[in-house]
Amino acid sequence: MEDLTIASTLKGLKNGDFTSKEITEDYLKKIEDNKDLNAYITVCSDIAIKMAEVADKKRANGETDSMLGVPIAVKDLFCTKGIKTTAASKILSEFVPEYESTVTQNLINHGAVFLGKTNMDEFAMGSSNVTSYFGPCFLPYRKQSAPDMPLVPGGSSGGSATAVASDLCVAATASDTGGSIRQPASFSGLVGIKPTYGLCSRYGMVAFASSLDQAGPLTKTVEDAAIMLNAMSSYDPKDSTSENVNIPDLRSVLGKSIKGMKIGLPKEYLENLNEDGINSINEAKRWLEDAGCEIVNISLKTTPYALPAYYIIAPAEASSNLARYDGVKYTYRSPSYSNLEELYVNSRSEGFGEEVQRRILTGTYVLSAGYYDAYYNKALKIQKMIKEDFNNNAFSKVDVLLTPTTPSTAFGMSEINNMSPIDMYLNDIFTVTVNIAGLPAMSVPCGLSSKDKLPMGVQLIANRFNETDIFKVAYVMEQAANFNDLKKEILRR
Amino acid sequence: MSKLINGWEVVIGLEVHAQISTQSKLFSSSPTVFGADPNEQVSFYDVAMPGMLPVLNEEAVNQAIKTGFAINGTVNKMSQFDRKNYFYPDLPSGYQISQLFHPIVSNGYIDITDEDGNSKRINIERIHIEQDAGKSIHDLDKEHSYIDLNRAGIPLMEIVSKPDIRSSYEAMQYLKQLRMLLRYIGACACNMEQGNLRADANVSIHKLDTPFGNRAEIKNINSIKFLGDAIDYEIQRQIYEVESGKTIHQETRLFDSRTGETRTMRSKEDAADYRYFPDPDLKPVVLSDERINKIKSELPELPSVKKTRFVEQYKLTPADASILVEERKTADYYEKAVKASRMPEETSKLIANWLIGEVFAILNKENKEISDLAFPIEYIAELVDLIVDKTISGRIAKTVFANMNENGKHPKEIVEELDLAQITDPEIITKSAKEIIEQSPKQLEQYKSGKTQLFGYFVGQTMKALQGKGNPEVINSVLTKLLNN
């Protein structure tokens, strides 16, 4: 079984081509064989096989469901009852929750099989998966120009992206605070959607920045993204920021005509793009024009302020959200302390990695007395302006925005060493705006870079809870890009 | 008028923390029952497990709205929860959820009576809702501290007064009034010994017409008496310090109820930077007019209004009315008793006297609540009816009351059983009086020769002959007639 999608898995299971247990065992073996990619932090073989057996039994009894028997991976940010959940941090390295996150519970309810928990940047803070306490993970791809250099899948959902791109699962859950689904999707040639804030419950998802965090799927196809997002999302009274909105069956809108739809091209996203970036946008534009869309040039003047605002709001919330990991309760506790203060300081200094500490310090600083108005309050004002900008200058004129997802294609480990934290933060420049505004956005593969033949994605952004339009447009682009054939040109390790 | 001590004016503001009466905690479904075993009432949220989220208890909000009306405040249609960040082992999440920027209630007041008997208005700046912290126990073990999180997340209201209080007496009156109000509306049980009403007192001194002095905040005072003691000590300390040429620094102090002294807990320099910011896990609390009006319409009659009504409707003295309205159930009891009376117009004052006198004495002595009395409300009305219709005298009534309290019997039954009915028949009384006069020739002679104070002797003897059951007025008139003929 090569490169199964959710749709093809369901078909195969239905036709009796294979059982869930068979493919689950296949995946477990493949995971074992590809340990060097470090896609998983925890593989839960026994649980996976049990879940697969249950799914097979249900299917034998004539039951069906949208994910019944489909082996997937879960980002290690989602609490899974009885399965270690680390957020890729030393401080939670031994934590086993006694509860299930709503997103994973929804997937269980729809029959999904969990293969394990995937690698990620520590507490989802990073754009390359290198901040993980469990080490980086690697794409199975190589640059044509540097075939020996291992490439990272981006982050923070790097393990999920690697697992899907390397065919170590059918699909995976991920989370996106500033681009953590879309950037790895773009680097790995996958479909990744960050839904509207409030569509997927945050209950049981380890918090990074509560007002920005959203769960979403990383899949091989737009159709899979539709199936899995429908399965993951729900209104959840246990999350006060969850919205009681019913999105339609997203699969049913795929293939619908997009003729007459207005696609906005915000000029601020196109400045300083490299040639590959310009080409991919132009190509996407042409596909959409061919499908009968009207391309409208627009301007979103608040765009340059999104990244600075993001790097104030996100660390501020993180500094508070991560205060609970204090060495007192369920976390790592430093062996050396002689009083309470030392217990806190040593446990947190030893338990958190450098990037997490950097963000906690940044967040603590911007919330401090005397700085609150200069930083945090100003960032909130920018947030309000960005929301208004999208409303007044985008969605009053167009249905969907087309932008690049990332400024570059996947980078190598050795290249990361030459990047400053700010260089790394600039990876999020096209993705953070939608988190700040709470909008849905998807990265769809659109081609390969000219020189290195690495995957490139473009981003589709819509108004709140208008996931439908994104899926319609993405499906058209996926057909036009014919990425499945293009993929064969990628140099594999 | 200001109360000056040695020329110093005392300025006090109180922050009162009242536990909101709810079944479950502010943001989780854990119960709030007092006295459970340690960590028995703790959920994953209360321990701040990763990914756990707060869900607001709307009942706590309703109680705060009620309280807002009870203190004549403005209920804000938009309020918001903020995080107050600090590290402490009994604060599992590392932040307390409170309301700094947008509290649920603003600008109220309570009227108190000061030591000169004048009415005085104490303004209230705000009421905000917040979580309580857990409890650290340091004295069970030499090397370890224990944490009990039963209290963590219990809903509190912080009621913040303006610095309008000018003496420890006023502070105590304010807290008493507040406690009465909270109990009335059922927003807080106010059992101070269970810690569900605690006060922080901000105390400073200054000379009139000069700016306020630096204040000391005395934390966590858990009784009205201690509040008075703590403030009195603090005033003396500050005056002494300043008059010996020292400066008062802004600081937090603790009151030691054993020594009656306050001592430094931390100075302003050590004060934590709480890094308040809006809690992103919670949406702003937006109240509809409908909800606010419904709560307002369900508000019980408040004690000040009730007091005025009692004075008018039942012709009570303001002092008696004050005592009766202090607790809602006493006031309700009183009104039910008056209603049960056959002649409420004539009995209302006497029923009040009986409640305040005999009934309260028994409750105090037997440490009972008014709801625990052995007899039904109607009996106290009947007892007073019997006095007013002259079936029994006030003195005999005490005997009947004691009997009624002991075995819960109907007063009429007791009067009949013990043959306690008053003798009002002038013939019977004349007969007894005549006998007494005949048996006392010496006293009669002295009386006749002008020693009129002996009238009382004849009254007493006649009453004694009638076994205490004679109607005093009839005895008086009969004797006046007999002796002056």
3-state secondary structure at position A433: helix
Q: How many Cα atoms occupy the beta-carbon half-sphere of B142 within 13 Å?
A: 0
- In degrees, rounded to 5, the angle at the alpha carbon of residue A193 between the alpha carbons of residues A192 and A196 is 165
Interface contacts (A, B; CB < 8 Å): 96
B114 min Cα distance to partner chain A (Å): 39
- The structural domains of chain B, with segments of one domain joined by +, span 4-292, 300-417, 426-483
Report chain B's mean pLDDT, rounded to a whole number: 93
Longest dimension (CA), chain B: 101
Q: Hey, are the CB atoms on A324 and B50 less than 8 Å from each other?
A: yes
Q: How far apart are CA A415 and CA A427, in angstroms?
A: 13
A134 min Cα distance to partner chain B (Å): 19
- Residue A78's CATH number: 3.90.1300.10
Q: Hey, are the CB atoms on B50 and A97 less than 8 Å from each other?
A: yes
Contacts 24+ apart (CB under 8 A), B301-308: B302/B70, B302/B181, B302/B184, B302/B185, B303/B180, B303/B181, B303/B184, B303/B328, B303/B331, B304/B111, B306/B331
Catalytic position from the list A101, A127, A128, A156: A156
Q: Report the candidate in B420, B343, B337, B336 with the shortest Cα–Cα distance to residue B385.
A: B343
Q: How far apart are CA A168 and CA A451, in angstroms?
A: 27
Residue B2 has pLDDT above 70, yes or no: no
A367 touches chain B (CB under 8 A): yes
B43 touches chain A (CB under 8 A): no
Q: Report the candidate in A223, A164, A156 with the shortest Cα–Cα distance to residue A188.
A: A164
Q: Which residue of B has its CA nearest to A95?
A: B50
Q: Report the candidate in A440, A464, A452, A457 with the shortest Cα–Cα distance to residue A489.
A: A452
B327-338 burial code (b ≥16 CB/10 A, e <16): bbebbbbbbebb
Question: Among B28, B47, B53, which would you mutate to test the A interface (most chain A Cβ atoms within 10 Å of its Cβ)?
Answer: B53
Q: In what order do the strands lie in the sheet with A71-75?
A: A40-43, A113-118, A71-75, A171-176, A214-219, A191-194, A441-448, A455-462, A400-404, A262-266, A294-298
Segment B174-182 mean pLDDT: 95
A364 touches chain B (CB under 8 A): yes
- Neighbouring-strand partners of residue B146: B137
Q: What ipTM goes with this model? A: 0.96
| CB-closest option in B56, B95, B282 to A320 | B95
Q: Which of residues 197-256 of A touch B (CB under 8 A)?
A: 202-207, 209-211, 237-241
Kindly list the residues from chain B whose CB atom is less than 8 angstroms away from the CB atom of residue A203. 51-53
Q: How far apart are CA A139 and CA A157, in angstroms?
A: 12
Q: Which residue has the tokens 């922050």?
A: B15
Q: Which residue of A has its CA nearest to B93?
A: A324
Residue A64: inside a domain: yes
State the pTM of this model. Answer: 0.90
> What would the pLDDT profile of B79-114 be if each residue is shown by its tens digit?
999 999 999 999 999 999 999 999 999 999 999 999
Q: Which of residues 88-117 of B touch A (CB under 8 A)?
A: 89, 92-95
3-state secondary structure at position B138: coil
Show pLDDT as tens, one digit a residue, over chain A (493 residues).
789 999 999 999 999 999 999 999 999 999 999 999 999 999 999 999 999 999 999 999 999 999 999 999 999 999 999 999 999 999 999 999 999 999 999 999 999 999 999 999 999 999 999 999 999 999 999 999 999 999 999 999 999 999 999 999 999 999 999 999 999 999 999 999 999 999 999 999 999 999 999 999 999 999 999 999 999 999 999 999 999 998 899 999 999 999 999 999 999 999 989 999 999 999 999 999 999 999 999 999 999 999 999 999 999 999 999 999 999 999 999 999 999 999 999 999 999 999 999 999 999 999 999 999 999 999 999 999 999 999 999 999 999 999 999 999 999 988 988 888 888 888 889 999 999 999 999 999 999 999 999 999 999 999 999 999 999 999 999 999 999 899 999 999 8
A349 touches chain B (CB under 8 A): no
A315 touches chain B (CB under 8 A): no
Kindly list the residues from chain B whose CB atom is less than 8 angstroms away from the CB atom of residue A438. none
* φ/ψ (deg, to 5) at B451: -85, 75
- In degrees, rounded to 5, the angle at the alpha carbon of residue B357 between the alpha carbons of residues B356 and B360 is 65
Phi-psi region of B229 (alpha: psi -120 to 50; beta: other; left: phi over 0): alpha
**Above pLDDT 70, what percent of chain B?**
99
Q: What pLDDT sits at residue B298?
A: 93
Please give the torsion angle defined by the CA atoms of residues A370, A374, A376 and A377, in that order, rounded to the nearest 10 degrees.
100
CA distances from B436 to B393, B423, B424, B429, B481 (A): 21, 17, 18, 11, 14
- Neighbouring-strand partners of residue B261: B256
Catalytic position from the list A21, A66, A75, A160: A75
* φ/ψ (deg, to 5) at A380: -65, -35
> What single string gives the DSSP state of each residue in B236-254?
HHHHHHHHTT--PPPEEEE
Q: Report the candidate in A179, A461, A429 with the shortest Cα–Cα distance to residue A309.
A: A429
B401 min Cα distance to partner chain A (Å): 58
- Local confidence band at B468 (pLDDT 50, 70, 90 cut-offs): confident
- In degrees, rounded to 5, the angle at the alpha carbon of residue B92 between the alpha carbons of residues B88 and B97 is 90
Give me A198's structure tokens: 């409030």
> What would the pLDDT profile of A90-149 be if each residue is shown by its tens digit?
999 999 999 999 999 999 999 999 999 999 999 999 999 999 999 999 999 999 999 999
Q: Which of residues 2-41 of B touch A (CB under 8 A)?
A: none
Task: Check if A93 is active-site.
Answer: no
Q: What pLDDT sits at residue B1?
A: 43
Q: How far apart are CA A147 and CA B302, in angstroms?
A: 82
* Residues in contact with B451: Cβ distance below 8 Å, sequence separation at least 6, in sequence order: none
Q: How far apart are CA A218 and CA A129, in angstroms?
A: 15
Task: Check if A75 is active-site.
Answer: yes
B52 touches chain A (CB under 8 A): yes
Q: Hey, are the CB atoms on A202 and B53 less than 8 Å from each other?
A: yes
DSSP letter (8 states) at residue B302: P
Segment B187-197 mean pLDDT: 89
Q: Report the candidate in A376, A260, A247 with the shortest Cα–Cα distance to residue A311.
A: A376
- Neighbouring-strand partners of residue B363: none
Domain of residue A33, residue span? 6-260+397-492
Going by their DSSP bridges, the two strands A294-298 and A262-266 should be labelled as parallel
Catalytic position from the list A127, A180, A201, A347: A180
Phi-psi region of B254 (alpha: psi -120 to 50; beta: other; left: phi over 0): beta
Going by their DSSP bridges, the two strands A113-118 and B82-85 should be labelled as unpaired
Kindly list the residues from chain A whose CB atom is less than 8 angstroms away from the CB atom of residue B83. 320
Q: How far apart are CA A423 and CA A307, in angstroms?
A: 12
Q: Hey, are the CB atoms on B53 and A97 less than 8 Å from each other?
A: no
DSSP letter (8 states) at residue A259: T
Q: How far apart are CA A118 and CA A108, in angstroms?
A: 17
Q: What SS3 string covers A236-254? A: CCCCCCCCCCCCCCHHHHC
| CB-closest option in A240, A364, A367 to B281 | A240
A445 min Cα distance to partner chain B (Å): 31
Q: What pLDDT sits at residue A272?
A: 84
Q: Which residue of B has its CA nearest to A239?
A: B53
| CB-closest option in A79, A205, A324 to B92 | A324
| CB-closest option in A206, A241, A368 to B51 | A206
Q: Hey, are the CB atoms on A323 and B53 less than 8 Å from each other?
A: no
Q: Hey, are the CB atoms on A369 and B273 less than 8 Å from each other?
A: yes
Q: Which residue of B has its CA nearest to A345?
A: B87
Q: What pLDDT sits at residue B396?
A: 87
Q: Hey, are the CB atoms on B281 and A237 less than 8 Å from each other?
A: no
A316 touches chain B (CB under 8 A): yes
Domain total in chain A: 1
3-state secondary structure at position A151: strand
A380 min Cα distance to partner chain B (Å): 11
A325 min Cα distance to partner chain B (Å): 8
Q: How far apart are CA B393 and CA B420, in angstroms?
A: 9
B275 touches chain A (CB under 8 A): yes
Give me A270's structure tokens: 């196109």
Phi-psi region of A167 (alpha: psi -120 to 50; beta: other; left: phi over 0): left
Whether the ω angle into residue A156 lies within 30 degrees of 0, i.e. cis, is yes
A337 touches chain B (CB under 8 A): no
Question: Among B281, B285, B286, which would you mutate to test the A interface (most chain A Cβ atoms within 10 Å of its Cβ)?
Answer: B281
Q: How many Cα atoms occupy the beta-carbon half-sphere of B65 within 13 Å?
A: 24
Classify B426-483 by CATH class. Answer: mainly alpha
Q: Hey, are the CB atoms on A99 and B44 less than 8 Å from each other?
A: yes
